[in-house]
Structure 1
Amino acid sequence: MKKFLYLLDNFEESLAGFALLLMALLYFLEVVLRYLFSHSIAWIEEFLRYLMVFITFFGASVAIKYGAHMSVNVIEFIPSKALKRAVELFIPLLGILFSAWLVYLSWLLMLRIKGFGQQTPAMQIPMYIPYSILPLGFISMCVRFVMQFINRLKPAKQA
């Protein structure tokens, strides 16, 4: 299990980092082509839009890993240890349920888009391919919340 998590960590972070680098390079290329050569590549803007969505969803998953999402630190003010522990377990459980629900809904949306047979305007790929970023991103977030829940189930080490 630890090897799977290590691979997942490296894969997600590397993929998001590569996508961000690719996005910066393509934006630079587009600006240079447009302003220096008065020429533009039609598919770059569309691809960058989809890449931004990809980075957003996989970046959100990485943020769950590092606890970088906005939160309210009300847990530290709960006097009861039992209630504090229950709240600490409830938060990732709620994240699991929410992201699993969004996996289901985004999967249905992707299948519906696939049924339409629509293609993207510039790249001419099936429209369900960019929409597949949604369920993949939510699956990734769900896995992160599951890992967070499992880690919080472990008893705290005594100092």
Structure 2
Amino acid sequence: MFLRILDRFEEILISVLMALAVILIFVAVVHRFSIGFAADLVGWARAHEMPGLQDTARSVFKAINSIKLTWAQEACIYLFVWMAKFGAAYGVRIGIHVGVDILAEKLEGRAKTIITTIAMSGGILFTAIIAWIGTDFVWHVYHGGQTSPDLELKMWIIYLAVPLGSALMCFRFIQALYLYLTTGYIAHHDLGAVDGIEDEAETAAEGKA
């Protein structure tokens, strides 16, 4: 039950963060080009002696310019940081991380089990260290009272993505190792599920034939 809730929360969080970042970037780009278009329209109307259009364009320019989105870039960076940290943990769960498994694939039996266990244990150790260091860093930032320049958010909240994401990633490595030791299964990404990959493979096989 807990794992199902955690899995669902992870997926929803990543989706929401990605959607917010994309929407915010889109709005910021439209806002920036709208200001430029309105300014150009004012100049064009002035050059062609069209006072009515000029006044309208100037009003539109003032209205758009009054909407301040200077914080958008900073917000997008923070959204992508959180998305990347939790996305990394999601990657461990479904097996989409890049890995050099040429040695493990050539081994069999106990030797393969030992190598795979060492590799996964390395991931557990590394992410646990990052989570510990990240927690210590967030603790010091919290007491320092640092805030972000545009959003004026507490920076410890932003940096909290590092220990939380790393801790979740560490848990996913532990989960993957336990699953492997008990069932022999390793989560991996199916290349056939990627559009075009299967078709290219079939075409190449037919060409060799």
**TM-score between both structures, scaled by the size of structure 1:** 0.90
**Structure 2: which 5+ runs fail to align?**
37-64, 186-209
2:100 corresponding residue in structure 1: 72
CA distance in 2, matches of 1:30, 1:126: 23
1:98 corresponding residue in structure 2: 126
Cα shift readout 1:110-138 (whole Å, capped 9, x = no counterpart): 11111211111111121111011100110
Please state whether the residue corresponding to 2:24 is helix, strand or coil: helix
Say if 2:124 is the partner of 1:124: no
2:2 corresponding residue in structure 1: 4
CA distance in 1, matches of 2:183, 2:87: 29
Amino acid at match of 1:118: Q
Please state whether the residue corresponding to 1:42 is helix, strand or coil: coil
Bigger Cα displacement from structure 2, 127-136 vs 86-95? 86-95
Please state whether the residue corresponding to 2:71 is helix, strand or coil: helix
Alignment of 1:44-83 (within 5 A): 44-73=72-101, 74-79=103-108, 81-83=109-111
1:32 corresponding residue in structure 2: 30
2:14 to 6, 13, 16: 16
1:84 corresponding residue in structure 2: 112
Say if 2:165 is the partner of 1:137: yes
Amino acid at match of 2:174: V
2:69 to 37, 41, 49: 41
**Structure 1: which 5+ runs fail to align?**
none
- Summarize the Cα distance change of 1:155–1:12 in structure 2 as closer, same or farther, 3 Å threshold: closer
Give the superposition deviation at 1:156.
4.2
CA distance in 2, matches of 1:31, 1:56: 22
CA distance in 2, matches of 1:5, 1:35: 45
The percentage of counterpart residues that share the same residue type is 30
Give the superposition deviation at 1:155.
4.0
RMSD: 1.5
Aligned residues: 154
- Which of 1 and 2 has higher RCO (CA within 8 Å, sep 6+)? 1
CA distance in 1, matches of 2:82, 2:29: 22
Please state whether the residue corresponding to 1:124 is helix, strand or coil: coil
- Summarize the Cα distance change of 1:54–1:156 in structure 2 as closer, same or farther, 3 Å threshold: closer
**TM-score between both structures, scaled by the size of structure 2:** 0.70
Amino acid at match of 2:129: W
1:107 corresponding residue in structure 2: 135
CA distance in 2, matches of 1:14, 1:86: 35
